[in-house]
Amino acid sequence: MKSYLMYYTPVLVQLAAMAGFIVGGDWIFVAIASFPALAIVDSLLPDDMSPRTMTSKFWANVPVWLSTLLSPAIYLVCAWQVGQGELNGWQIAGAVAGCAWMGVVPFVPASHELYHQRGVLPRFFGRYMQVCYLDCTREIAHVIGHHIDVATPKDGDTARRGVGLYSFTARALYTSTRDAWRVESDALEKRGKGRWSIGHRLYKAIVAQVLFQAAIFVVGGWQGLAVGIGAVLAARVWVESFNYFQHYGLIRVEGAPITRRHVWNHLGVMSRLVAFEITNHADHHLDSYAPYYRLVPDRSAIRMPSVFVCFLAALIPPLWHGVIIKPALKRWDLEFATPEERKLAREQNKAAGWPDWLSETSSSGPAITASHA
């Protein structure tokens, strides 16, 4: 029972944010204040390495569905409050930031869980509730691109060594959109249709976003609509920036098997709970249909700090590179990489202007154990 109840943590965070928007005034900031609150708790508590003991798919999915549906509801409640015309400029800025944050965490991990399921209904809701961050075609590039190309130069979600958070985010905004639309057009063409024929998912995504923003306008007027548009735009940028930490600098030879070592895991208590294990996703890349509660923490992997700490550190690139990611990648190269991966790693290190820590290492490479694979 405890395992099931723990995953209502993100639901409680969302309900607290919604209550703040309903009350109004400075309570508007409850939503965005959950970011530093979660970051502090996640950093202070020890990593959670325990596997889950959940066996009921139905009860495990209840908080996932609630978190997916609550995020658009939060946007509507926020728009209603803004439409009352009682908030000052500072509070309106807090409303935009709070809605954007609720459109990232816990919403993105919850919708991600749904669109990775086999059922038509969860995939539909996981797909189109992504109006909260302006990308209802997101899972196309994610499932067909990222899960196939992870840790290779083809993957837009894997940052090359030396790349900063800001340039990565800007590029990822373009590549994720481009790849999704290209894959969808290729699929239509294979079915004998035009690349931009009426069945293209882009048009459905536009309709979904227009309907969402129309609902926001109905409850919040022009001010509410402005806040809604600002929030989905900010959320989209935020979503892309969080992808920066999951595979940064990791390397896989194209066509080689995807293994657990091609993922960074962040196993803080709050990271795991509010993100529905998306930060504990080594096994997810081995079986993308595996539900979140069956993902087992990789005890053999290099320990990474809280994902919140990583995000805040990456805002100052020298801090991220010097204190967190370079030491981790040095260990990865020396202890986990295959000889072929080491060769590519050395090339990336040189291109990034990083030290050549592989120069005196035997080219024979380590024996990759089953736990590393």
Note whether residue 362 is domain-resident.
Answer: no
Note whether residue 85 is domain-resident.
Answer: yes
Mean pLDDT confidence for 254-259: 96
Distance separating alpha carbons of residues 21 and 27, to the nearest angstrom: 7
Note whether residue 87 is domain-resident.
Answer: yes
Note whether residue 359 is domain-resident.
Answer: no
Would you place residue 36 in the very low, low, confident or very high pLDDT band (cuts 50, 70, 90)? Answer: very high
Across all residues in the chain, what is the average pLDDT?
Answer: 95
Nearest residue to 370 via CA among 264, 257, 265: 257
Mean pLDDT confidence for 32-44: 97
Distance separating alpha carbons of residues 96 and 82, to the nearest angstrom: 10
On whether the CB atoms of residues 265 and 298 are closer than 8 A, the answer is yes
Distance separating alpha carbons of residues 317 and 168, to the nearest angstrom: 12
Report the 10 Å Cβ neighbour count for 57: 10
pLDDT tens-place string over residues 304-344: 999 999 999 999 999 999 999 999 999 999 999 999 999 99
Would you place residue 361 in the very low, low, confident or very high pLDDT band (cuts 50, 70, 90)? Answer: low
pLDDT tens-place string over residues 313-322: 999 999 999 9
* Residue 206, pLDDT score: 97
Phi-psi region of 111 (alpha: psi -120 to 50; beta: other; left: phi over 0): alpha
Note whether residue 371 is domain-resident.
Answer: no
pLDDT tens-place string over residues 92-143: 999 999 999 999 999 999 999 999 999 999 999 999 999 999 999 999 999 9
Per DSSP, the three-state class of 313 is helix
Distances (CA, A) of 237 to 109, 127, 154, 168: 16, 18, 21, 11
Q: Domain tally for the chain?
A: 1
Mean pLDDT confidence for 286-301: 95
Full domain range(s) for residue 115: 2-352
Note whether residue 364 is domain-resident.
Answer: no
Note whether residue 83 is domain-resident.
Answer: yes
Distance separating alpha carbons of residues 122 and 119, to the nearest angstrom: 6
Note whether residue 361 is domain-resident.
Answer: no
pLDDT value at 360 more than 70: no
* Residue 363, pLDDT score: 47
* Residue 209, pLDDT score: 98
Q: Which amino acid is at 91?
A: Q
Among residues of the chain, what percentage have pLDDT more than 70?
96
* Residue 372, pLDDT score: 58
Question: Can you list the pairs that 174-178 forms with residues at least 24 positions away whose Cβ atoms lie under 8 Å?
Answer: 175/141, 176/135, 176/138, 176/141, 176/142, 176/240, 177/135, 177/137, 177/141
pLDDT value at 367 more than 50: no
